């Protein structure tokens, strides 16, 4: 029983981690209508930034968000302005896939060029300390991720629902032309959204770096799961992404323990493919965002 | 992506430039063998073998990614299957020449199983699904150690000779790689210049218009995927023999999948020789970078790839082939399309109106709580022109969608008399097309990246398998529709009037017996309306029965033998045009009092 509780707890904590990586992706997905194939590489860039700031300058990993978040916001905004925006008028989204895939390839290899293939370990500063909570053992860093992911999800929801900018963002997501007629600068909203999406990854990076070894390919590892989560949760739905993350975390943890540790990915992707094929609009989507780009 | 280079560079284009193109391609291909042979250097051989392998992979990928527009990022699955099948069988003492076919067979089965569900997905979602499948295969290859050797990978039993596809020298593998490249190019060229190629591109450009033209879109895509997977697996088997060692991470690699797709994009997506060009451009640079800088600068060549991809996407979205085609002579200008509809002398005698050919019985359709059509029943008679009018939102297009198979009715039936004289109830758009129902779309749906001629050919292929015959029919139809001057222009360049006529031409090339016209006169000028009316009569006189949704009253009044008025999903009046417009119910519901005053 205790083992089961531990496995479930691990699953939920892993889910929180997926959530914190996925919220930015789902935001970009839902509003700019672009699948950012370089999202994982944004995370990787953020993790290397955290690594450099922590190990070279001795800053606490969490404190690095002050620098990492704005830098990633900038990276995201620049990507939208100079890579995606010129391609927005392309009828087909193939060209946008190529663009972000190209960015992803370039970033991975740039990291290889600068840091080499060796693993970079960010100093943990007490974040790998185990805590005994009843029958369950968790790491302090994992609890921090759980707390941060809840805060991020709630914060983003409130931002989108209660601020003027948030309302503008949602308006653009629902009907670009109508929003434009209402005097919203759509291009600026897209740049802002892409920036915020990337900034979310910055938060994730600072929290994940102390727990996971950083390597040029680390982004691929996380982002494939993030894609699963986003599709599961319903495109562009932040709450859905959170729920989806917890589900995927549990599937990952349970299948890893009861099936075979190296078949976890098969289970996760199996779920993904089944959902993608049977219900491409996602399990938890209330149809809040305009998904017209999904159907033919 | 709508690829402008698609058409003009193909062997289909005017003779002179295509001959020059063919000579250039032949020279490049010959150089792939001759240059390394003359230099004789091991590294040069290696570079050229790598070029052939990647060009073959990329060309095979392009059949799905380019022609069909399904951007697979999981093509390494088939490559990996070919590699593993080849090596596993070789270690059991079976020649890779046989192993190749085993690998290809497995790849085809896997490809069909994966693609059938995935083709429901579009754009990024399809790509994501293919990545997920690739990851699954990689993990499975790691997991089933007994078969695959797990993470340690598998070596080939070192047996030399042609029989085993393993050599001490570099020339024989070059010959094999070159042969595979030729095979892939030949297959790609064959597909692109035959019916299936037109169908693939048509499906990529406009799925619904392709269906209306009788294309079984699922079948053509699956065929493309199967062919592409088999070719990719062939290359995989050979490459494994060349590398002599394989492991899951390298065989089922996302990076490889991306690279293959990238070469095709850089060369020119959807063109036959684009991928080859892309590979020739990039592989030498990358191999040199790897050779010279590899030890010092890991990741440099990858960075170059990624950066090149971004640059091409931004500045040369149609790839090298598109770039090159800019230097070729431009097709006829597209000015003044509105003025040249061939004036149609009506000499044919009008055939008498006959028995019903299409019978609609109490069609019902709800969208949520909204009754879009309620108990709609009518019959179209042989040789008749039936006008379907009604205010916006009356349900006219919904009726069209149900009598061409694009929308399934909640209840009621649509029966069409076939050539055998019996009534049939087709279900899917393809079935409707097969029985002779052709339709146009209210919002024009041209295959934008195809020329006018090719657009019409897609329709003509419905009756004529042979390219030459289909082309002839297309030309003849284009002539009748006054589109002859723009045969070689891309459809995207036409004016709205030209596009409307193109839609009709495409349908007419299918030689339909029932023609459904959805507002073909909307947005064209007076002169064109008059000519279009003449054209309709001409079509009718050739024995085609027509239902036309139309708002241009002048056309409705002079064309229709009978008019049906639809309002809020119900038929409110039916009869001769002049009687119908005087019907008080119609006046009240639709035409407005002013119209009656004007008529009086």
Contacts of A105 in chain B (CB under 8 A): 255, 258, 262, 302-303, 305-306, 309
Report the residue from A90, A102, A294 with minimal CB separation from B1: A90
How many whole angstroms separate alpha carbon B342 and alpha carbon B302?
A: 57
A134 touches chain B (CB under 8 A): no
What average pLDDT score do residues A213-235 get?
Answer: 86
Report the residue from A102, A262, A272 with minimal CB separation from B306: A102
CB neighbours of residue A163 within 10 Å? 11
* Interval B193-203: pLDDT, tens: 999 999 999 99
SS3 state of residue B414: strand
> A40: closest CA among A97, A105, A115?
A105
> B377: closest CA among B390, B395, B359?
B359
Q: How confident is the model at residue B600 (pLDDT cuts 50, 70, 90)?
A: low
* Interval B193-241: pLDDT, tens: 999 999 999 999 998 999 998 899 999 999 999 999 999 999 999 999 9
> A29: closest CA among B73, B124, B129, B132?
B124
Report the residue from A102, A216, A231 with minimal CB separation from B310: A102
How many whole angstroms separate alpha carbon A199 and alpha carbon B235?
A: 43
How many whole angstroms separate alpha carbon B104 and alpha carbon B93?
A: 18
**d(CA B462, nearest CA chain A) in Å:** 23
Residue A286 has a pLDDT of 47
Sign of the C-alpha dihedral computed for residues B207, B209, B210 and B211 taken in this order: positive
What are residue B545's phi and psi, to 5 degrees?
A: -95, 140
pTM comes to 0.86
User: Given an 8 Å threshold on Cβ–Cβ distance, is A94 in contact with B262?
Assistant: no
* B285 vs A208, residue with greater confidence: A208
* Interval B375-425: pLDDT, tens: 899 999 999 999 998 888 888 999 999 999 999 999 999 999 998 889 999
What are residue B154's phi and psi, to 5 degrees?
A: -135, 140
Residue B294 has a pLDDT of 62
Please say whether the beta carbons of B483 and B475 come within 8 A: no
Residue of A nearest to B133 (CA): A269
Please say whether the beta carbons of B509 and B474 come within 8 A: yes
Residue of B nearest to A116 (CA): B298
Please say whether the beta carbons of B334 and B493 come within 8 A: yes
SS3 state of residue B100: helix
**d(CA B100, nearest CA chain A) in Å:** 27
Report the residue from B73, B122, B298 with minimal CB separation from A294: B122
pLDDT above 50: residue B333:
no
Residue B595 has a pLDDT of 60
Contacts of B5 in chain A (CB under 8 A): none
Tokens at residue A234, please?
């319903």
* B370 vs B361, residue with greater confidence: B361
pLDDT cut 90: percent of chain B above it:
49
A70 touches chain B (CB under 8 A): no
A78 touches chain B (CB under 8 A): no
User: Which of A88-92, B21-25, B110-114, B391-395 shows the lowest per-residue confidence on average (mean pLDDT)?
Assistant: A88-92
Matching residue, tokens 């990291």? A111
Q: What is the mean pLDDT of chain A?
A: 87
Matching residue, tokens 């990358």? B286
Please compute Rg for chain B using Cα positions: 29
SS3 state of residue B570: strand
User: Given an 8 Å threshold on Cβ–Cβ distance, is A277 in contact with B2?
Assistant: no
How many whole angstroms separate alpha carbon B78 and alpha carbon A81?
A: 37
CB neighbours of residue B22 within 10 Å? 12
Which residues make beta-bridge pairs with B548? B387, B517
Which residues make beta-bridge pairs with B573? B565
* Interval B7-18: pLDDT, tens: 444 444 456 667
* Interval B539-579: pLDDT, tens: 899 889 999 998 888 888 888 999 999 888 889 889 998 88
Contacts of A106 in chain B (CB under 8 A): 302-303, 305-307, 309-310
Residue A284 has a pLDDT of 66
User: Given an 8 Å threshold on Cβ–Cβ distance, is B317 in contact with A272?
Assistant: no
Residue B15 has a pLDDT of 63
What average pLDDT score do residues B119-126 get?
Answer: 80
User: Given an 8 Å threshold on Cβ–Cβ distance, is A98 in contact with B313?
Assistant: yes
User: Given an 8 Å threshold on Cβ–Cβ distance, is A102 in contact with B298?
Assistant: no
Contacts of A96 in chain B (CB under 8 A): 124
What are residue A260's phi and psi, to 5 degrees?
A: -165, 140
Contacts of B143 in chain A (CB under 8 A): 260, 262-263, 266
What average pLDDT score do residues A6-27 get?
Answer: 91
Containing B376, the helix (H) or strand (E) segment is: strand B370-381
What average pLDDT score do residues B428-451 get?
Answer: 91
A48 touches chain B (CB under 8 A): no
How many whole angstroms separate alpha carbon B212 and alpha carbon B200?
A: 14
**d(CA A267, nearest CA chain B) in Å:** 9
Best residue in A95, A226, A229, A230 for a mutation probing chain B (most B CBs within 10 Å): A95
Q: Please, which residues 154-213 of chain A have a Cβ atom closer than 8 Å to chain B?
A: none
Burial class of residue B60 in the structure, from the number of CB atoms within 10 Å of its CB (0-12 exposed, 13-18 middle, 19+ buried): buried
Contacts of A231 in chain B (CB under 8 A): 125, 128
| A&B contacts, CB < 8 Å | 154
Contacts of B302 in chain A (CB under 8 A): 105-106, 108-109, 112
ipTM for the predicted complex comes to 0.86
How many whole angstroms separate alpha carbon A154 and alpha carbon A164?
A: 17
Contacts of A277 in chain B (CB under 8 A): 117-118, 120-121, 129
Residue B493 has a pLDDT of 85
Matching residue, tokens 């006054």? B482
Q: What is the DSSP string of A140-161?
A: HHHHHHHHHHHHHHHHHHHHHH
* Interval B256-268: pLDDT, tens: 999 999 999 989 8
Please say whether the beta carbons of B139 and A265 come within 8 A: yes
User: Given an 8 Å threshold on Cβ–Cβ distance, is B313 in contact with A269?
Assistant: no
Report the residue from A95, A108, A295 with minimal CB separation from B313: A95
Report the residue from B142, B207, B303 with minimal CB separation from A113: B303
**d(CA B284, nearest CA chain A) in Å:** 18
User: Given an 8 Å threshold on Cβ–Cβ distance, is B69 in contact with A106?
Assistant: no
Contacts of B121 in chain A (CB under 8 A): 276-277, 280
User: Given an 8 Å threshold on Cβ–Cβ distance, is A231 in contact with B128?
Assistant: yes
* Interval B178-187: pLDDT, tens: 999 999 999 9
User: Given an 8 Å threshold on Cβ–Cβ distance, is B121 in contact with A276?
Assistant: yes
User: Given an 8 Å threshold on Cβ–Cβ distance, is A116 in contact with B298?
Assistant: yes
Best residue in B65, B128, B152 for a mutation probing chain A (most A CBs within 10 Å): B128
**d(CA B345, nearest CA chain A) in Å:** 41
* B600 vs B255, residue with greater confidence: B255
Residue B433 has a pLDDT of 93
Q: Please, which residues 226-245 of chain A have a Cβ atom closer than 8 Å to chain B?
A: 227-228, 231
Report the residue from B255, B300, B317 with minimal CB separation from A95: B317
How many whole angstroms separate alpha carbon A274 and alpha carbon B526?
A: 54
Which of the 8 DSSP states describes residue B589?
Answer: I
Q: How confident is the model at residue A265 (pLDDT cuts 50, 70, 90)?
A: confident
Q: Count how many residues are written for chain A.
A: 296
**d(CA A156, nearest CA chain B) in Å:** 25
pLDDT cut 70: percent of chain B above it:
91
Residue B292 has a pLDDT of 73
Report the residue from B128, B139, B307 with minimal CB separation from A266: B139
Three-state DSSP string of chain A: CHHHHHHHHHHHHHHHHHHHHHHHHHHHHHHCCCCCCCHHHHHHHHHHHHHHHHHHHCCCHHHHHHHHHHHHHHHHHHHHHHHHHHHCCCCCCHHHHHHHHHHHHHHHHHHHHHHCCCCECCCCCCCCCEEEECCEEEEHHHHHHHHHHHHHHHHHHHHHHHCHHHHHHHHHHHCHHHHHHCCCCHHHHHHHHHHHHHHHHHHHHHHHCCCCCECCCHHHHHHHHHHHHHHHHCCCCHHHHHHHHHHHHHHHHHHHHHCCHHHHHHHHHHHHHHHHHHCCCCCCCCCCCCCCCCCC
Report the residue from A92, A108, A269 with minimal CB separation from B302: A108
User: Given an 8 Å threshold on Cβ–Cβ distance, is B262 in contact with A228?
Assistant: no
What average pLDDT score do residues A9-35 get?
Answer: 91
SS3 state of residue B411: strand
């Amino acid at each position: 029983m205790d083992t089961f509780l531990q496995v479930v707890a691990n699953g939920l904590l892993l889910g929180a981690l997926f959530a914190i990586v996925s919220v930015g992706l789902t935001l970009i997905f839902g509003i700019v209508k672009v699948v950012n194939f370089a999202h994982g590489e944004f995370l990787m860039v953020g993790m290397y930034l955290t690594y450099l700031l922590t190990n070279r300058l001795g800053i606490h990993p969490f404190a690095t968000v002050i620098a990492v978040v704005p830098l990633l916001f900038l990276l995201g905004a620049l990507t939208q302005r100079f890579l995606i925006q010129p391609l927005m008028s392309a009828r087909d989204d193939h060209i946008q896939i190529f663009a972000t895939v190209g960015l992803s390839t370039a970033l991975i290899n740039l990291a290889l060029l600068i840091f080499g293939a060796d693993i970079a370990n960010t100093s943990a500063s007490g974040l790998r300390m185990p805590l005994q909570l009843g029958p369950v053992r968790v790491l302090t860093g994992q609890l921090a991720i759980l707390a941060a992911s809840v805060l991020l999800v709630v914060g983003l929801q409130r931002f989108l629902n209660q601020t003027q900018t948030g309302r503008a963002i949602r308006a653009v997501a629902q009907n670009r032309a109508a929003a434009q007629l209402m005097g919203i600068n759509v291009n600026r909203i897209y740049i802002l959204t892409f920036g915020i999406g990337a900034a979310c990854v910055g938060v994730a990076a600072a929290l994940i770096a102390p727990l996971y070894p950083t390597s040029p390919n680390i982004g691929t590892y996380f982002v494939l799961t993030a894609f699963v989560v986003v599709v599961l949760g319903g495109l562009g739905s932040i709450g859905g992404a959170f729920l989806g993350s917890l589900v995927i975390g549990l599937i990952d943890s349970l299948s890893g323990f009861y099936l075979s540790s190296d078949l976890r990915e098969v289970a996760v992707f199996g779920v993904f493919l089944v959902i993608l094929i049977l219900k491409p609009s996602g399990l938890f989507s209330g149809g809040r965002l305009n998904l017209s780009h999904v159907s033919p | 992506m709508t690829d402008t280079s698609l058409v003009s560079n193909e062997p289909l284009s005017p003779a002179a430039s295509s001959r020059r193109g063919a000579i250039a391609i032949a020279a490049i291909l010959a150089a792939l063998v001759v240059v390394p042979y003359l230099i004789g250097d091991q590294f040069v051989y290696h570079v050229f073998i790598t070029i052939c392998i990647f060009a073959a992979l990329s060309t095979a990928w392009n059949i799905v990614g380019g022609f069909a527009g399904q951007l697979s990022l999981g093509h390494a699955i088939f490559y990996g299957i070919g590699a593993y099948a080849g090596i596993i069988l070789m270690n059991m003492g079976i020649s890779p020449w046989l192993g190749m076919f085993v690998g290809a067979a497995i790849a085809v089965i896997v490809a069909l199983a994966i693609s059938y569900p995935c083709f429901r997905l579009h754009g990024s979602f399809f790509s994501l699904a293919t990545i997920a499948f690739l990851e699954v295969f990689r993990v499975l290859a790691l997991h089933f150690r007994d078969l695959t050797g797990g993470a340690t990978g598998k070596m080939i039993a070192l047996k030399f000779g042609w029989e085993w596809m393993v050599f001490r020298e570099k020339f024989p593998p070059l010959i094999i790689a070159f042969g595979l490249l030729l095979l892939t190019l030949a297959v790609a060229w064959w597909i692109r210049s035959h019916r299936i190629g037109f169908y693939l591109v048509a499906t990529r450009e406009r799925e619904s218009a392709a269906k209306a033209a009788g294309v079984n879109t699922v079948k053509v895509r699956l065929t493309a995927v199967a062919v592409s997977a088999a070719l990719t697996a062939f290359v995989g088997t050979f490459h494994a023999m060349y590398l002599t060692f394989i492991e899951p991470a390298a065989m089922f690699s996302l990076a490889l999948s991306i690279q293959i797709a990238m070469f095709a994009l850089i060369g020119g997506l959807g063109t036959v020789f684009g991928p080859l060009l892309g590979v020739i451009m990039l592989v030498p640079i990358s191999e040199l970078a790897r050779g010279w800088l590899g030890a010092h600068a890991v990741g440099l060549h990858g960075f170059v790839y990624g950066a090149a991809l971004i640059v091409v996407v931004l500045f040369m979205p149609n790839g090298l082939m598109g770039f090159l085609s800019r230097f070729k002579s431009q097709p006829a200008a597209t000015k003044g399309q509105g003025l040249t509809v061939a004036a149609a002398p009506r000499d044919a005698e009008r055939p008498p109106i006959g028995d019903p050919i299409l019978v609609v019985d109490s069609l019902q359709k709800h969208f949520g709580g909204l009754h879009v059509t309620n108990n709609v029943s009518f019959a179209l008679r042989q040789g008749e022109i039936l006008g379907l009018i009604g205010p916006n939102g009356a349900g006219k297009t919904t009726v069209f969608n149900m009598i061409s198979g694009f929308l399934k009715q909640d209840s009621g039936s649509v029966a069409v008399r076939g050539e055998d004289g019996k009534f049939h109830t087709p279900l899917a758009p393809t079935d409707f097309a097969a029985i002779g129902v052709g339709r146009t779309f209210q919002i024009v749906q041209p295959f934008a990246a195809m020329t006018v001629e090719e657009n019409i050919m897609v329709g003509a292929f419905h009756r004529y398998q042979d390219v030459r015959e289909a082309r002839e029919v297309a030309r003849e139809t284009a002539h009748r529709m006054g589109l002859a001057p723009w045969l070689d222009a891309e459809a995207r360049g036409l004016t709205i009037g030209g596009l409307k006529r193109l839609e009709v031409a495409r349908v007419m090339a299918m030689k339909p017996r029932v023609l459904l016209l959805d507002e073909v006169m909307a947005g064209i000028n007076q002169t064109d309306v008059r000519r279009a009316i003449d054209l309709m009569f001409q079509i009718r006189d050739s024995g085609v029965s027509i239902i036309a949704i139309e708002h241009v009253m002048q056309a409705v009044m002079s064309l229709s033998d009978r008019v049906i008025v639809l309002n809020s999903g119900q038929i409110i009046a039916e009869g001769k045009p002049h009687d119908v417009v005087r019907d008080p119910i119609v006046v009240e519901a639709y035409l407005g009092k002013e119209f009656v005053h004007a008529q009086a």
